[in-house]
Every structure is written in C-alpha cells, then in structure tokens.
Homo-oligomer: A and B are copies of this chain.
Amino acid sequence: MKDVAAAAGVSLGTVSNVLNRPAVVSAATRERVERAMAELGFVRNESARQLRAGTSRALAYVMLDGGNPFFHDVAEGIETAAEDADLSLFVCNSSGRTEREAKHLDRLLQQRVQGILITPVDPDAPHLADLAQRGLPFVMVDRFSRAGGHCSVAVDDVLGGRIAVEHLIDRGHRRVAFVGGPASIGQVRERLQGARAVWAEFGMPEEDLIHLPTEALTVNEGRSAGERLAGLPSRRRPTAAFCANDLLALGLLQHAVTAGLRVPDDLAIVGFDDIDFAAAAAVPLTSVRQPRQELGRTAARLVLDEATNPGHVHEQATFVPALVARASTGTVRR
C-alpha cells in the first residue's frame, strides 16, 4: 500500500479509503490509485487486515469423514451461506480421529476464525467444551451433545429409524437386520432406537430385529456385515436390512449381489442419508433422506447469528427425514 500511495502521489490513508470507502475519494484520485494498484500488481495482505480487525473473515467446517459424500454435500450448503456473507470457508477433515480433530481446532483457534461448524468424533470431548467456554461461536452439525451451551443442527434420527423400519414392515418383512455401529456414535444408537420402537409397536417379537454391529460406517464394513448375514441359519436369516448409512448399505448390496442374492426379493435394503451414489447403485437404493445442503445452510446461519447478534440464543434445529423408496425395497413380500 505504501508503494501504491507513492506511485499515485497520495497518502496511505487515501489508498485505504479507495479500498474501503471508495465513495469518499474523488473520482480522479480513485482512478489514479487504482491504476497504480494494477501496475504494481498490488494484493491486499489478509494477515495485516486480520491483525487489525482482530478476527479473520472466515468460517470453518471440520467434517468427520471426507470419504463420505454426505459430508461433502453438507459442506456445499455451508459454503453457499458463507459466500453470501462474504466469508471464506476452511474445510478440514478429521477422518474420525480425535487427535486430528483437536489439531485442526487448535489451528482454527489460532487463525481467529469467526465461527466453527463441526461434526465431531465425540460430541462430549473436552476440547469441544473448551471452545464453547472460550466464547467462540460454534455449531454442531448432525450431532447433539448432552452438554448444550451451543447450537446444533441435525435430523431426527429416531424418526428416521422408525420410517425405515415401518417401510420394511409395510413391504411384508417379518425378520429384519439393523446393520450399524459402533454404538459410540449417537446417530447409530438413535436410528436403532427408532427401529426398535416401531418394531415393538407393530407387535413384532424382539428377537426378529437382529442387530449386526459394524466397526465403522464404511462400504467395507457393509460387505463384511453381508458375509455375517449370509452366514446365519436360513430360518434366522432376515429378509431385509436397515443400514445405519448408505455406505454400509452399498457394501451390503454389493456383497448380496456377488453372492447371488436377488435384491430386493431375497434381501431388501434400506440405507440412510440418500447420498447421490444411492440412487446410482446398480439396484437403486431406498434410503432415508436428510436435507444435506439445508443442514449446512442452517448451521452456517446459526453460527453467523451467534457471531454477530449479541442477543443470540442457542437453538437446536431438527429436520425431518423422509423416505425415498427405490428398487432395493421394491416388491411387497407375500
């Protein structure tokens, strides 16, 4: 800026005015300054601006699993909202590892981001409580914590579980597997809880809703669950599976097809999230849709409100999931 000022024959303050309050400087000077900037290839130094401002013009989203398209879609939603507010978005990926998450948060704190959106590995981890108590605006995405003291955005997972299993009962299934784990993930617990609730309401025997636990919510784990499922004695073998997310469902689907099972006739499958690959699977996957972009946009809205509005009150936004029925549960069982 000093060089620009010299080149244009004006003071530093004027250059700053051109940048920040163009209206107050005369057209002629403005033009001269702008030409000087172009000639010198001037680029504003963001760190100096930040230092002066005390905060960076950025939000951050720390996502749980970059390999899961679901989170990518959430990030898209956040990004559109951030763009509207003229903020940058830093996207970080904890890959499900607590220490990586902590490292990212640490860095973001040092960057003085305006707010943090996070889908945490563990919603009750102490480093999250630190954040809140530091007064940094933050919003939990797709998770709740017992603690409170912050906003959160998620769908009603219990309801999602109910919808999925009710759909299967509707289709005539009387023995159903719930595929998902580990139980440390709140989502998994709640989806299972919803599943069990409808199951009981329809008067089905408890032991006919079989829980096949997995170690993670990945395609690989879905395949391995498929193997275990195939290994069950045929009179105990479920005719349908409700998977805690679409990656599991895709893995299970793949195993089923390779093993020569017909989907949905031999095995019906319901996933969760409704990622784009679900519709694109060779047997298009019935899934419980979450409003992914909407989730992201709302989260961004909340964090911005917390950052700018002194009268902000924390809010737990809950969205309603919806069943998207496709071929993988297509036929009614006799």
Give chain A's interface residues, CB within 8 Å of chain B. Answer: 41, 43-48, 50-51, 56, 66-67, 69, 72, 75-76, 79, 88, 90-93, 107, 109-112, 134, 219, 223, 250-251, 253-254, 257-258, 276-277, 280-284, 327
Query: Which of B134, B219, B327 is within 8 Å of A280, CB to CB?
Result: B219
Contacts A47-B112, A110-B46, A250-B280; A75 near B69 (Cβ below 8 A): no
A201 vs B48: C-alpha distance when bound (angstroms): 61
Q: Are B67 and A72 in contact (CB under 8 A)?
A: yes
Q: Are A219 and B72 in contact (CB under 8 A)?
A: no
A282 vs B223: C-alpha distance when bound (angstroms): 11
Q: Are A79 and B93 in contact (CB under 8 A)?
A: yes
A311 to chain B, nearest CB (A): 25
Q: Are A110 and B43 in contact (CB under 8 A)?
A: yes
A47 vs B257: C-alpha distance when bound (angstroms): 54
Given contacts A66-B72, A250-B280, 13 further A-B contacts (CB under 8 A): A41-B134, A43-B110, A46-B111, A46-B112, A47-B51, A67-B69, A72-B72, A79-B93, A219-B276, A219-B277, A250-B277, A253-B282, A257-B283
The residues of B that contact A327 with a CB separation of less than 8 Å are: 258
A134 vs B41: C-alpha distance when bound (angstroms): 9
Q: Are B110 and A284 in contact (CB under 8 A)?
A: no
A134 vs B42: C-alpha distance when bound (angstroms): 11
Q: Are A44 and B250 in contact (CB under 8 A)?
A: no
